[in-house]
Amino acid sequence: MTITHRLHHCLRSHDMVARLGGDEFTVLIEKIGAPAEATQVAERILDTLCKPFSLKGYTLFPSASIGIVIGSHSYQSATDLLRDADLAMYKAKSTGRACYALFTTDLHTRIYKVLQIESDLRRALEQQEFILHYQPIVSLSTGKLIGFEALLRWQHPQDGFIPPYEFIEISEETGFIIPLGEWVLREACRQLHTWHQAFPEQADLIVSVNLSSKQLREPRLIEQIDCILAETGLAGRFLKLELTESMLVDDVQTIIQTLVNIRAREIQLSIDDFGTGYSSLSYLPRFPINTIKIDRSFVSRMTSDTENLEIVRAITMLAQSIDIEVIAEGVETLEQLLQLKTIGCEFGQGYWFSKPLDSLSIQQTILAQTQWPLSETLGTQSSLLLG
């Protein structure tokens, strides 16, 4: 009642307000000269609506997201007009609280594109167009292979190889990451178990799988993991899940409970791209984390810039002091490798050791010879694998 009253207060007497259901209202403003007139009304509505009011002794602070569409002759029906107002409203919602957004053809194109990509992705999963590449993770004290990170690739029949940054975000947005992430987990566990059996002397290798924020919040995650481990025969201790700092911010208690459930299966947990998010080690002891991966941006600037070197050193020392292992990401040069060794960083991953490779190449090159030279005299190429 209060909301309707406030809405009327912002409009002219011949404008129309209708409640579509729940907390959705539609306002029809006729005879406007320019879009700016509509946005002025939206601002007025936000101003008025968002003022606190009392209900049954409580003070409420309402908020609203407004989608605006300007009618034109190209619209055939009221339903189309409402659909576009709805799209604009979702855009406003995604921008933040108390916002309005104007429908544009760009928005239509973008949403159409997202839907198109989503249906492409679903087809790709059915047609088995996704594959995993594996990048070695190496002990910097012994030069020995300790495991791999599984990295997703899309082999599109027309467009060729598509890297993850082109489809992971959209998969998150649309929720497709749930079935896709489940496929990644299953495939990585299946592959590692096969390698353990084929190379018994390598039966302690582990595989790291990137988990997205949606997956971590998916109530069925633990059930899915249990199923995958049972199906593939891989023991939990050989699996590591990579999270990012930003995933540990909201709803902390629920996240901690999920992480504790994961750890109860001896699955390890790693913080990926460390230093790019909250950059604070103080929150780490609250979470049952085994490893942090220092982001490539620090490692790549380490040799030219002493500040970065000190950051890497400080992160390594602090993490080790609370029993957390450290992996340096993006190790590309021997100089970086030697500095990391001096600092005492235990593990490294990067092009210096190997680029991510398909499973056959891993079998033929990496699993046949699993030790890297780590001293200056032994050369500067990752191709110099020691037998």
Pairing of strands 291-294, 268-274: parallel
Residue closer to Mg ion (CB basis): 65 or 244: 244
Give least dist CB 47 to ligand C2E, A: 41
Give DSSP secondary structure letters for 251-314. SHHHHHHHHHHHHTTT-EEEEEEETSSS--GGGGGGS---EEEE-HHHHHHTTT-HHHHHHHHH
> Which tokens is 273 given?
């791209």
Q: Which does 315 bind (CB under 5 to 8 A by kind): ligand C2E, Mg ion, none?
A: none
| 325 is a contact residue toward Mg ion (CB under 5 A) | no
Site membership for Mg ion, residue 182 (CB under 5 A): no
Q: Exactly one of 164, 236, 277, 373 binds ligand C2E (CB under 6 A); which one?
A: 164
What 3-state DSSP class applies to 216? helix
210 is an interface residue for ligand C2E by CB under 6 A = yes
| Residue 212 near which of Mg ion, ligand C2E, none (CB within 5-8 Å, type-dependent) | ligand C2E
Q: Which of 84, 242, 245, 346 lies at the binding interface for Mg ion (CB under 5 A)?
A: 242
Going by C-alpha positions, the residue among 368, 361, 349 that lies closest to residue 138 is 349
Q: Is 207 exposed, middle or buried (0-12, 13-18, 19+ CB in 10 A)?
A: buried
Q: Which of 135, 171, 210, 349 contacts Mg ion by CB under 5 A?
A: 210
Q: Does 151 engage in binding with ligand C2E (CB under 6 A)? A: yes
Residue number, 66 or 132, with CB nearest to ligand C2E:
132
Q: Using CB under 5 A, which of 218, 273, 325, 346 touches Mg ion? A: 273
Q: Please tell me whether residue 184 binds ligand C2E under the rule CB under 6 A.
A: yes
Task: Name the closest residue to ligand C2E (Cβ).
Answer: 350
The encoded tokens of residue 60 equal 């409420």
Beta bridge partners of 307: none
- Give the C-alpha separation, 145 to 357, whole Å: 14
Q: Using CB under 6 A, which of the segments 52-60, 306-314, 349-357, 373-381 binds ligand C2E?
A: 349-357
Using CB under 5 A as the criterion, which residues of the chain lie in contact with Mg ion when the complex forms?
Answer: 210, 242, 272-273, 329
